[in-house]
Structure 1
Amino acid sequence: MSVIVEFRVPSGDFELGQILSVEEDSTVELETLVPLGETSVPLFWVRNSTRESFVESVQRHSSVEEATPVDAFEDRTLFTLDWNANQDRLVSAVQANDGQMLSAVGSAASWTFEVRFPTHEALSAFSTSCGDAGIDPEVTRVYNPSDPDVQPWYGLTKPQLEALTLAIEMGYYDIPRGCTTKELADELGISDQAVTERLRRAITALVTYTLPIDGESR
């Protein structure tokens, strides 16, 4: 059974987010449900941005062949992007695990994605691929499209699960604490700040998918 995951990634953490860099009040939105294959050319809207300066900025990137305006309105422009998706670690992780991009919306700070995977195993492999590439998606929802009431996958990525498990094993949540975030960071081979952020996201995912939020039970 296929599974759909919604997640957020900082714009600077993957190449497409860096390429489609926009100003604070601008957004980028995927227009079509495009499978990310080698021959796919995505269509996307850019809102509240100067068309000429945006095209100039995009085409400075070495992996971009051309960004072409297709349709223009007062507050938004529709573009096609001819680029080499193989250089993007996030996109490559989606492709390698048979994912299909359903939606993607980007801002100056972050991108929010909705991706369909053929199985939960493929989604798990995608999470592993992201971890191997140094990308830590913040998962906000996981569900089966044909049965949205099925118990969710709890939204944890492999790096988040690893950090949370280690924190529990080393007594980080004990009273008194059995270790510090610095000691956890040394074990995981990442920075103290990265450990703190990873634990925060892990706990947010667990709370979101195991407790009623805003009166709704997931």
Structure 2
Amino acid sequence: MTIIADITLPASTFPLGRVFQSFPDATMELERVVPLQETIMPLVWVEGSDPDAVESALRSHSQVKNVEVLTATGAESLFEVHWLPAADGLAEALLNTGATVLDARGTAESWDFRLRFSAHEDLSSLNVSLTEKGIPVTLRRIYHPPLEEISPMSPIQRETLLAAYRQGYFQIPRRINQSDLADELEISDSALSQRIRRAVSKLIERDVLSEEAGSR
């Protein structure tokens, strides 16, 4: 049975969060988390801070092995961060419990995670592991959705896509242009474009590519 848990962690309790405490105006969103043998490699979007300053802060962290700037568009930049093995108590706990990070976003104060587990025991193990490492966990929600209800998109990507659809952004001709929709959502044109493109990309990966693979 699939278990979905929404948790909040203080930014000061894990390395990636601590790096971004130096950027109080920034907001971060994980594009995805790639599990490696003894650590994880997050791909993180950063909005609201100078990308050169963010890159410098990441490179200077003692537990970061390498940093790559994958793309920079407008107010957002995408970073690929390679951590040293076992450098992160949170990463270790996620790897040991087989948790999948469905969504993660943060500020200088705290980070919200949406995690998927295959059993209640794995969620309990994560909680115990983090607590033993001195990382306080706030469990906001836990539920058991049917597999078909698990969205590949983050909540903010889903909300943006729904708003675009309801406002007629996808109609021909469009009832609302990108600039006006971005104004309604109080984000930049670039941020809107990136959210829609990432959401559509994830839907294609789940529904189109998986169907194509299944038909072979």
Same fold, TM-score > 0.5, yes or no: yes
AA at the equivalent of 1:31: E
Q: Distance in 2 between matches of 1:65 and 1:145?
A: 37
The residue that corresponds to 1:77 in the other structure is: 77
Q: Deviations over 1:28-60 (max 9, x none)?
A: 11113x353337532110001101111111111
AA at the equivalent of 1:36: P
> Is 1:89 the equivalent of 2:89?
yes
The residue that corresponds to 1:146 in the other structure is: 146
Q: Is the 8 A contact 2:40 2:91 kept in 1?
A: no
Superposition TM-score, scaled by structure 2 size: 0.63
- Give the superposition deviation at 1:84: 2.0
Which stretches of structure 1, 4 residues or longer, exceed 2 Å deviation after superposition?
19-22, 34-42
Q: Distance in 2 between matches of 1:41 and 1:132?
A: 23
Gap regions ≥5 residues in structure 1: 149-218
The residue that corresponds to 2:35 in the other structure is: 36
Q: Is the 8 A contact 1:35 1:99 kept in 2?
A: no
Q: Distance in 1 between matches of 2:40 and 2:89?
A: 17
Over 3 Å counting, the alpha-carbon distance change for 1:68 and 1:92 in structure 2 is: same
Superposition TM-score, scaled by structure 1 size: 0.63
AA at the equivalent of 1:16: L
Q: Distance in 2 between matches of 1:147 and 1:99?
A: 16
AA at the equivalent of 1:15: P
AA at the equivalent of 2:63: S
AA at the equivalent of 1:132: E
Gap regions ≥5 residues in structure 2: 149-216
Over 3 Å counting, the alpha-carbon distance change for 1:21 and 1:85 in structure 2 is: farther
AA at the equivalent of 1:126: L
Comparing 44-53 and 83-92, the one that deviates more: 83-92
Q: Is the 8 A contact 1:36 1:101 kept in 2?
A: no
Q: Distance in 1 between matches of 2:73 and 2:62?
A: 28
Q: Distance in 2 between matches of 1:147 and 1:55?
A: 37
Of all paired residues, the percent bearing the same amino acid is 32
Q: Distance in 1 between matches of 2:112 and 2:144?
A: 19
